[in-house]
Amino acid sequence: FNYRNHARFTVRFGGQLGFSNRITRRFVRVDECMLMDSKINSFLSQLQDNSSETTNLSIRVGANTDDYLIQPELSGPDIDFETGQKWYVENMLNREFRVASPSFFQVNTKQAEFMINLVGDKLGLNGDEILVDAYAGVGVFASLLSDRVRKVIAVEESQAAVKDALFGLNDLHNVHYIQGKTEEILEELEEKIDVIILDPPRTGCHPQAIASVLSAKPNKIAYVSCDPPSLARDLDMLVQGGYQIDSVDPIDMFPQTYHTECVATLSRNN
């Protein structure tokens, strides 16, 4: 319980905060959510019935810091803390990351830290690889695995996420960020890629991205997914393209729900 660092609330009826069913649109008032970080519940108790200025409210908090972000900005007389922040700072494995409101960040910080170490260990990095971090987001994999490889090329489409990543990369001279779509950037890279990390959205990789991975012929691939059907689809294409699945490790990233995160590692057949 109390693991989620991000909550999105619907606002109804005089500033009430709650959740809406995606299909029926039925609204349920929520005064406390046991899945949310205690700091989110603390903000919720103060914002409940005081947020009629908006129809939706987002709260993000640092699990390992005291920083937070509440969007949009609210000006109610009963709100005695700052709102409307553009970004907040989280610390993961002794490194700070800036996360803007539009940027993706794992909702379970503790399990995300475990996952990063798992990916690094499963790939068996020896320090001489060129690693591509595709769908890199704010640079979590790129930054935290940079000391295990020779060079990291991080590819991310979101301009906001790239700005967040660059904010914390000043001391990492072997990490290079490229803004663009994975399926397009991979085709343009001229360097021999040894390892690729794929961490796409729930829908999985664009078919051309899989084709570009197969053309790059990395020795190892780590595929991070929160959607088993799209993971199975993409793994099938990678296997058909000459890779073997070495392991699939489920991670309970979303406790008390039926959702799960998986890390699949693959190696190229000789």
Active site residues: 226
Q: How far is CA 105 from CA 62, 83, 84, 87, 177, in A?
A: 11, 20, 18, 12, 17
The Cα 262–Cα 225 span in angstroms is: 5
- What is the DSSP-derived secondary structure letter of residue 258? S
**Read out DSSP for 108-154?**
BHHHHHHHHHHHHHHHT--S--EEEEET-TTTHHHHHTGGGSSEEEE
Nearest residue to 266 (alpha-carbon basis) of 215, 227, 218: 218
SS3 of residue 75 by DSSP: coil
Q: What distance in Å separates the CA atoms of residue 36 and residue 30, rounded to the nearest whole number?
A: 11
Strand partners, 7: 59
Return the structure tokens found at 169. 């990369």
For residues 29 and 17, the answer to whether their CB atoms sit within 8 Å is yes
**φ/ψ of residue 207, rounded to 5:** -55, -35
Place of tokens 């012929």: 217
